[in-house]
């Protein structure tokens, strides 16, 4: 029942570094509301992203057909000390919960991008070069690994045009990039 989402992040604390956060979601205690448990994400620089994720999940809750009685518990297997205000992790957090609730039928994926809590649109936090390189660092995957990424890097440039080479390289590693503009597209991509 364990689901894993890899989230590329960038820390400016000390020596600037890129890092691939390993966000794990597992069943926690039995409860009537089954509200997600975010408290293990405290102190790891994800406060703003968690806030956005909470708002999006509240909106989604009424649309969910099946709401399990075991609350999902989220934690980081490899926190990055010094990380702060990582808004680009919001999509990854939401995707992990959707995987837990069965709306996405995969066990692992990579996700990066800001989420607009009102329109549920996915936006890029950076130019995505570092994120794509972080995914390349994972190496070859035996099983297809999906990479959900914002479609637009800037207003008029798509990620496919900007990073065609990197995306092609990822394809050779069995990592398939899915550029998305909305959360609905992200859900469709991870279930495809």
Partner 1 sequence: MRLFKNKNHEDPRRYVFIPIVKPGSNDVVESSSSSEKLGNNGTADNQLIEVYSQPYLFGDDTDNQAINKDWDRIAAALRKKSRVLFHSGSVATSKVHKLGLKRPRMAFYQWLKPKAWLEQQRLYSDCPKELSEGNSAELGLALVLLMAASGSPYRQVIATGALSGQIQLIRERDVEIQPVNNLVEKFKLVIQQVNNGKPPQNKNLLFFIPKYYDQEKTKRVEVESLPEVQTLRTLGIQVVPIEWLSEAAKKLKADTARYLPQDLIFKWLMIALLVISLSWVSWVGWRDRAISMAFVTANPETLSAEPFLVCFKDKEVHYQRIVREGIVPIVPTTSTLGWQIKIGEASSFDSFLSQWFGYQGYYVAYLIISQFSAPKINRIRIYPDKNWIWSWKLNELEEDNKLILLAQRQPFNLRKLERLVKPPESKTAQVPIDITKIANDIESQFPNGLYFTFKTASKSQCTF
Helices (H), the chain: 47-61, 90-100, 129-136, 159-162, 164-172, 183-191
Residue from 39, 61, 67, 102 in contact with partner 1 (CB under 8 A): 39
Question: Measured from the CB of residue 37, what is the shortest distance to partner 1 in angstroms?
Answer: 8
50, burial (CB in 10 Å: exposed 0-12, middle 13-18, buried 19+): buried
Q: Is 101 in the site for partner 1 (CB under 8 A)?
A: no
Stretch 69-88 residues interacting with partner 1 (CB under 8 A): 73, 75-81
Rank residues 21 and 122 by Cβ distance to partner 1 and give the closer one. 21
Q: Are strands 17-30 and 122-123 parallel, antiparallel or unpaired?
A: unpaired
Q: Is 141 in the site for partner 1 (CB under 8 A)?
A: yes
First-last CA distance in the chain: 20
Q: Is 13 in the site for partner 1 (CB under 8 A)?
A: no
Rank residues 12 and 30 by Cβ distance to partner 1 and give the closer one. 30
Q: Is 139 in the site for partner 1 (CB under 8 A)?
A: yes
Rank residues 60 and 136 by Cβ distance to partner 1 and give the closer one. 136
Residue from 11, 18, 28, 54 in contact with partner 1 (CB under 8 A): 28
Q: Is 42 in the site for partner 1 (CB under 8 A)?
A: yes
Q: What backbone phi and psi angles, to 5 degrees, belong to 49?
A: -65, -40
Helix, strand, coil percent content, the chain, rounded in steps of 5:
30, 30, 40
Task: Collect all residues with Cβ–Cβ distance below 8 Å to 75 and sequence separation of at least 6.
Answer: 23, 24, 26, 40, 41
Binding residues for partner 1, rule: CB under 8 A, are 4, 6, 19-20, 22, 24, 26-30, 39-40, 42-44, 47, 73, 75-81, 138-139, 141
């Amino acid at each position: 029942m364990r689901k894993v989402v890899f989230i590329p992040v960038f820390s400016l604390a000390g020596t600037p570094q890129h890092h691939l956060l390993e966000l794990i979601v597992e069943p926690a205690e039995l409860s009537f509301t089954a509200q997600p448990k975010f408290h293990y994400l405290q102190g790891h620089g994800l406060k703003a992203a968690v806030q956005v994720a909470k708002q999006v999940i509240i909106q989604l809750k009424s649309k969910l057909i099946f709401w399990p009685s075991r609350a999902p518990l989220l934690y980081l297997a490899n926190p990055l000390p010094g990380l702060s205000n990582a808004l680009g992790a919001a999509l990854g957090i939401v995707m992990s919960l959707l995987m837990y609730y069965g709306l996405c039928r995969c066990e692992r994926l990579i996700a990066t991008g800001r989420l607009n809590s009102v329109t549920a649109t996915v936006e890029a936090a950076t130019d995505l070069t570092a994120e794509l390189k972080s995914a390349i660092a994972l190496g070859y995957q035996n099983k297809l690994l999906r990479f959900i990424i914002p479609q637009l890097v800037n207003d008029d440039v798509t990620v496919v045009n900007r990073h065609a080479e990197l995306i092609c390289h990822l394809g050779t590693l069995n990592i398939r990039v899915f550029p998305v503009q909305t959360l609905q597209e992200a859900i469709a991509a991870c279930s495809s």
